Amino acid sequence: MSVLDSIIEGVREDLASRRKPLAQIQEAIDRASAVRDPLPTMLSSNMSLIAEVKRSSPSKGSLATIADPAALAEQYAQAGATMISVLTERRRFGGSLEDLDAVRSRVDIPILRKDFMIDEYQFFEARAHEADVVLLIVAALGKNQLNDYLQLASELGMRALVEVHTHDELERALEISPEIIGVNSRNLKTLDVDTSAFAELIPRIPHTLVRVAESGISHRKDVDFAQNNGATAILVGEALVRAVDPATAVRELLGLDRLEQ
């Protein structure tokens, strides 16, 4: 069993324990605030940052305690992040829907629910908790699932970040006409990181789409490498949650510290 398979098995078990009647979830959706659409800002920006609230990971273990995820997200937003990514997977990443709720209560920019979306229920659940964007991992989904889930997210008013790691996955992603594609330099089946994936895959993504570089980004030189290969956004978690000053780290990654000098 690969790491990805193991994570998905846990996600299914946890989902079964918290599943509520869909009518109850729909009531929460009806009360939810309007979706905050990140697409206009991301399409008009040379480089956007998706800043992540992330306590731990399967590859590194514990990263940060994060006693107040809302305060961290607020720092990200004030420093220039375009979107906040909130891990909601519990077993390997230490996340929760409560973290998403806390962040939503404090920031007014779009929020990505970062989880392994393998069941329709999770999409209704995401919108009920006022997520604006969901993650679709091509390696975790079949062709029909990928297409159906993209359509479901759209019907609920949300955008989808479609994540790929290989040429084959990118071809599958492009078949469903996504608006945001993320190239993850981490192989979710082995957890190995190879940022050459940015150079191999991002140039193959149409320039009309938002092109996100994920994983392996810790310094401004990493951002420059991704951007030189066509990335228009980066998703960063570990480097930010481990930073002494997360707001300063956001500005450094975006090159805003250069403008202030």
Write down the catalytic residue from 54, 56, 169, 187: 54
Write down the catalytic residue from 215, 229, 238, 252: 215
Write down the catalytic residue from 125, 214, 238, 252: 214
89 an active-site residue?
A: no
Residue 110 burial (CB < 10 Å; 0-12/13-18/19+)?
Answer: buried
| DSSP structure class, residue 85 | E
52 an active-site residue?
A: yes
Write down the catalytic residue from 114, 125, 130, 169: 114
Write down the catalytic residue from 52, 89, 125, 169: 52
Asked whether 96 and 56 are in contact (CB, 8 A), the reply is no
Write down the catalytic residue from 89, 125, 130, 163: 163
184 an active-site residue?
A: yes
Other CB atoms within 10 Å distance of the CB of residue 144: 8
200 an active-site residue?
A: no
214 an active-site residue?
A: yes
Q: How many residues does the chain have?
A: 261
**If DSSP codes are grouped into helix, strand and coil, which group holds residue 228?**
helix
Write down the catalytic residue from 48, 56, 57, 184: 184
Return the structure tokens found at 108: 């007014």
CA distance 220 to 18: 40
**Catalytic residue list:** 52, 54, 114, 163, 184, 214-215
